[in-house]
């Protein structure tokens, strides 16, 4: 129990070199490219889930927005698989790092905004000043809308970081409590362990939900700008 509570969030190293890049690349191994005429059940299940998610997420987009299909599907698969792998014991979750989440959120947000200013310049500028705004409120509303626009990638990154980090910390605390109570009261320890199992199941759901929410918000930003 002397282990630092935040030790699992430090970047792992091997021989003094950070191996976070290898960890980030590892989920791509879980989604192999099918090279057979008839796929096995695992690949067929993966393809069915990808098609179902892409059909639901791209239903609101026009032809220009649907060109982002590969990017959005790669994003949700990467975040979802990374979150799930981070639930394994003695593993590292890259999505608990705010810097990495900002590295995903800022370029995607900037791409949607640039697309909007390039193809829908008037409509994009109109978001800064709602129709019918009183003249005295125009400067303040422009400032507020500008701040709300630039805070979008920060909200994306902080939401993902906070949810994944909070879940891992809660599992760590409850697991430590169950271990400490094992020598004091077996019945209370069993109850605590049951809560830990239920929380672990919940974290599996949260890992997938947060991947979907992150990608869905990027999709909505794209829809507003195409």
How many CB atoms sit inside 10 A of residue 43's CB? Answer: 16
Q: For the segment 3-14, what is each residue's pLDDT rounded down to a tens digit?
A: 566 666 666 666
Q: Closest Cα partner for 54 from 43, 42, 66, 62?
A: 66
Residue span of the structural domain in which 156 resides: 5-223
Quick check: pTM over 0.75? Answer: yes
What pLDDT does residue 2 have?
Answer: 46
What pLDDT does residue 136 have?
Answer: 81
What pLDDT does residue 12 have?
Answer: 63
> Cβ distance 194 to 202 under 8 Å?
no
**How far, in Å, are 74, 216, 217 from residue 60 at the CA level?**
19, 11, 13
Q: For the segment 143-164, what is each residue's pLDDT rounded down to a tens digit?
A: 888 888 889 899 999 999 999 9
Q: For the segment 93-108, what is each residue's pLDDT rounded down to a tens digit?
A: 888 888 889 988 999 9
Q: What share of the chain is helix, strand, coil (3-state, %, to 5)?
A: 75, 0, 25
Q: Total domain count for the chain?
A: 1
Site of tokens 């799930």: 84
Sign of the alpha-carbon torsion through 216, 219, 221, 224: negative
């Amino acid at each position: 129990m002397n282990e630092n509570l935040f030790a699992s969030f430090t970047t792992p190293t091997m021989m003094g070199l950070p191996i976070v890049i290898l960890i980030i690349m590892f989920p791509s191994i879980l989604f192999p490219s099918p090279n057979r005429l008839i796929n096995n059940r695992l690949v067929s299940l993966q393809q069915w889930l990808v098609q179902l998610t892409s059909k639901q997420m791209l239903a609101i987009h026009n032809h220009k927005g649907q060109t982002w299909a590969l990017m959005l599907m790669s994003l949700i698969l990467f975040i979802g698989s990374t979150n799930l792998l981070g639930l394994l014991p003695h593993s590292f979750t890259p999505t608990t790092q705010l810097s990495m989440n900002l590295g995903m959120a800022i370029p995607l947000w900037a791409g949607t905004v640039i697309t909007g200013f390039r193809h829908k310049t008037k409509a994009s500028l109109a978001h800064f000043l709602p129709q019918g705004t009183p003249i005295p409120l125009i400067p303040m509303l422009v400032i507020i809308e500008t701040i709300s626009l630039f805070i979008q990638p920060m909200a994306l990154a902080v939401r993902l970081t906070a949810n994944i980090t909070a879940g891992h910390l809660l599992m760590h605390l409850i697991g430590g409590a169950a271990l400490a109570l094992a020598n004091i009261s077996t019945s209370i320890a069993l109850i605590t362990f049951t809560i830990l199992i239920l929380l672990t199941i919940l974290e599996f759901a949260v890992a997938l939900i947060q991947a979907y929410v992150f990608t869905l918000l990027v999709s909505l930003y794209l829809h507003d700008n195409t």
